[in-house]
């Protein structure tokens, strides 16, 4: 048996350079995969990005979105998991009226792209079938 601590002992980090809104992360593992517990305030979200080896997102509280560059994707709620394959451009974040907490497992390097515009975010909200 190998017990894995719930946190790395490092302080929570406010994410600003590649996130819109109030986003905090607790690093769990800096290896491969990189594992972070991430908390998004309502409407907060990542920038567009992709992972060389893919990303597994496990929603643990609240609700939000995971959306691909082609617009596919949609709402995600606590208890759901989303796999984004290697190289797939996407964003994820909280819904307009809910926090979203998630555990994110990122495989390989992450390439950060452009900010998700308010128009792109609002499109996801309009198209959501809650």
Q: Which residues of the chain have pLDDT under 70?
A: 2-9, 129-130
CA dist 73 and 92 (Å) reads 10
- What is this structure's pTM? 0.90
18-34 pLDDT per residue, tens: 999 999 999 888 789 99
| Domains, the chain, ordered by start | 13-127 (2.60.120.10)
CA dist 70 and 122 (Å) reads 15
Contact 32, 108 (CB under 8 A): yes
């Amino acid at each position: 048996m190998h017990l894995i601590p719930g946190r790395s002992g490092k302080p929570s980090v406010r994410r600003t350079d590649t996130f819109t809104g109030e986003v905090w992360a607790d690093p769990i593992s800096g290896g491969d995969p990189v594992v972070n517990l991430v908390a998004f305030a309502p409407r907060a979200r990542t920038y567009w990005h992709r992972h060389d080896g893919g990303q597994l997102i496990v929603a643990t509280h609240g609700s939000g979105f995971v959306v691909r560059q082609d617009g596919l994707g949609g709402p995600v709620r606590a208890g759901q998991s989303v796999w984004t394959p290697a190289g797939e451009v996407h964003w994820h974040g909280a819904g307009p009226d809910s926090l979203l907490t998630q555990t994110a497992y990122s495989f390989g390097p992450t390439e950060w792209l452009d900010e998700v515009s308010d128009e792109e975010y609002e499109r996801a909200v309009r198209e959501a079938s809650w």
